[in-house]
Amino acid sequence: MSANTVARRVENIAENISSQLFDKNGHVEWFSLALDESTDVHTTETEFPIDFAIETFCALKINFDTRFWDFDAIANQIKIFQNPFDTDIEILAPELQMEMIDLQCSDIIKNKYQNSSLLEFYKSLPLTLFDNLHKFARGLFPVFGTTYLCEKTFSKMKYTKNVYRSKLADEHLKSLLIIGTSKISPQLQTIVSGKSQLHKSH
What pLDDT digit, counting tens, does each position of 97-135 carry? Answer: 899 999 999 999 999 988 988 888 888 888 888 989 988
Q: Is the dihedral of CA 9, 10, 16, 19 positive or negative?
A: negative
CA–CA dist 63, 150 (Å, integer): 21
Lowest mean pLDDT among 67-81, 130-144, 154-168: 154-168
Above 60 in pLDDT, residue 169?
Answer: yes
Q: Is residue 104 a contact partner of residue 96, using CB atoms and an 8 Å limit?
A: no
Q: Is residue 41 a contact partner of residue 33, using CB atoms and an 8 Å limit?
A: yes
Q: Is residue 141 a contact partner of residue 119, using CB atoms and an 8 Å limit?
A: yes
